[in-house]
Amino acid sequence: RDGQGWVRDAHGRCEAQLALPSGINPAHWWLDATHGMPAPGDTQLSIILLEQACASGLSPEGRILPPTIAYGDEVILIAMAVRAEPGAFDCPGNPAFATTITLDEPIGERQLYDAGVFPPEEVFGPH
């Protein structure tokens, strides 16, 4: 808002995300295609993670928090987050980062979803 009224200062896609505490940034993830599709018996996922907040193009290495995972009969919901670096940051874009997620249960025939957005987005699963 300026002295004359409301003005637009940004534009883009409006996407609902998890409400996270201050200092924690959301991250999208998807399966790392270079490792192939996970098998039903797998408990490890090779993923690519992309931090969604401005981080001056810094890698999330060393700042990735443990995933939040919900296991259902037909789906596995996984939300990822990254600890923010203190200070103000530019937004040149963030690098995608390869990492792994360890599950407590085999994937089975369940679909995998990025639960960091609402509604959760399906990622490539074992089917």
**For 32-57, how does the pLDDT look when each residue is reduced to its tens digit (9 = 90+)?**
999 989 999 999 999 999 998 888 88
Write the DSSP assignment of 74-88 as a string of letters. SEEEEEEEEEPPSS-
Q: In this predicted structure, what is the pLDDT of residue 32?
A: 94
Q: For residue 44, which amino acid is it? A: Q
The model's confidence at residue 9, banded by pLDDT at 50, 70 and 90, is low
Yes or no: say if 80 and 66 are a contact pair by the CB < 8 Å rule. no
Tell me the percentage of the chain whose pLDDT exceeds 90.
Answer: 57
pLDDT at 125 over 70: no
pLDDT at 127 over 60: no
Q: In this predicted structure, what is the pLDDT of residue 5?
A: 76
Element (H, E) at 70: strand 68-71
pTM of the full predicted structure? 0.82
pLDDT at 78 over 80: yes
Tell me the percentage of the chain whose pLDDT exceeds 70.
Answer: 88
Lowest mean pLDDT among 12-26, 29-43, 50-64, 100-114: 12-26
Among candidates 51, 38, 20, 23, which has minimal Cα distance to 118? 20
